[in-house]
Amino acid sequence: MSTTAHKASRAMLGAAALSGCLFFTAGCSVPEAEQGDTIKIGAILPVTGPVSEWGESNKAVLEMFEDEVNDAGGIEGKDLEIVVYDSGAKPAEAANLVRKLASQDNVIGILGPFTSSEAEVAFPVANQLKVPVISQASSKPGVAEQNRPWAFRNTVNEGAYLGAVVPEMKKDLGATSVAVAYDSADAVGTSIGTGIMPPVVEANGLELTTGTSPVTFTTTDIDLKAQVSSLIKTDADAIGLGAFYNGAGKLLREMSSRGANTPIFGGSTLVSANILEAAPKTTIYSSGTYFPGAEDAADWTAEVEKVFAEEGVPGSPTMFDSQVYEAASMYVEAIKAGDLSDADVEAARIGIRDFLTDMKDFQGLTTVISMQETGDVSREFYVLKGAGGEWSVLASATP
């Protein structure tokens, strides 16, 4: 056989042997592990990438939480360690990080991932590896429900939010007709614009001026003139927006520049100080479990703002900061309630899962929280009205 053929054969044999080895090691399971001297919780946050401002503030809040717990003596004498990894809001990375936290860091529970797209791929992995995971921001309907029993979300379904916002907006404005627009490149925006908003609007006796063809846009669109013209032409009393505040802000700026200040309504994705700055003359109806002016959480807000100032995190705490803080508190409470600080990792994870599954009337920052069978929490929330640069409470609601 020639040298050429020998080399080629060796290369092929090597590749085949490598793939064979990998094939047979592919079924390895997570080894049993003890917890050690610290209690480890993992966190998957988008510290870089398109929603990094939320990831950064979440990180600061979790560091504050870790210090609070450890300064108060830890959990049953053991220190708490929150292992934070950056996902960049990339779904594939979030899935890999669940594997890393579960199999290498041996955490007993995971906070995050942040977005619904990340949760869609990370939750099935958490379910396979049998590690509890609580997302603080994913609100696309059904994501936790599809990944029982290990996936949870400390968020209210966007359907519940809009079910409360639309009647309050109608009452406040005396509206009879609405138009709908949504960010067609975003999963949550599309869910709101096509699946949630139209039936809620119709159920409240409002005319849907955009009919079965809502106006679509994306955050990457450079020019939104056509979409804004379509919305103005419908002459609706209000516009329902399925979009995150940054995409919505872009649309609102274009509307404002055309002198159109039609009131806007939407789910929790609109709650942000930035959107009020983008369109100061526009009234915005939204909803959330927290906002910086919430009286029930005034002390916590002051504490977080102090930390933000020290660490150079811009702005005030967001609803997602409060929800990740609450989720971390749930883990600590679960460890204490189940006396899990000395349990091995696998037993601690099962104990936490059972605590979360049966959780009733857990004291959150603004309201009590209970877990539903779907893996999403049930809790009272605010219907908010944004005007004059500030959010105020219009009503309270329960899903």
Pairing of strands 368-371, 362-363: antiparallel
- Cβ 97 to another protein, closest distance in Å? 9
Nearer CB in complex with another protein: 168/221: 221
Nearer CB in complex with another protein: 220/259: 220
- Cβ 143 to another protein, closest distance in Å? 9
* The amino acid at 365: L
- Cβ 13 to another protein, closest distance in Å? 10
- Cβ 27 to another protein, closest distance in Å? 7
- Cβ 222 to another protein, closest distance in Å? 14
- Cβ 83 to another protein, closest distance in Å? 10
Nearer CB in complex with another protein: 23/388: 23
Nearer CB in complex with another protein: 1/4: 4
Nearer CB in complex with another protein: 26/72: 26
Nearer CB in complex with another protein: 187/387: 187
Alpha-carbon span 80 to 68, nearest angstrom: 10
Nearer CB in complex with another protein: 190/234: 190
Interface contacts to another protein, rule CB under 8 A: 2, 4, 7-8, 11-12, 15-16, 18-19, 22-30, 47-48, 56, 85-86, 88, 91-92, 95-96, 99-100, 102-104, 117, 120-121, 124-125, 129, 140, 146, 183-187, 189-191, 194
- Cβ 177 to another protein, closest distance in Å? 26
Nearer CB in complex with another protein: 15/203: 15
- Cβ 133 to another protein, closest distance in Å? 15
Which residues are 152's β-sheet partners? 134
Pairing of strands 215-217, 207-208: unpaired
Nearer CB in complex with another protein: 195/399: 195
Task: Give the count of alpha carbons within 13 A of 159, CB side only.
Answer: 11
Nearer CB in complex with another protein: 50/315: 50
- Cβ 125 to another protein, closest distance in Å? 8
Alpha-carbon span 113 to 382, nearest angstrom: 24
Alpha-carbon span 87 to 27, nearest angstrom: 26
- Cβ 26 to another protein, closest distance in Å? 4
Cβ-contact 91, 50 below 8 angstroms: no
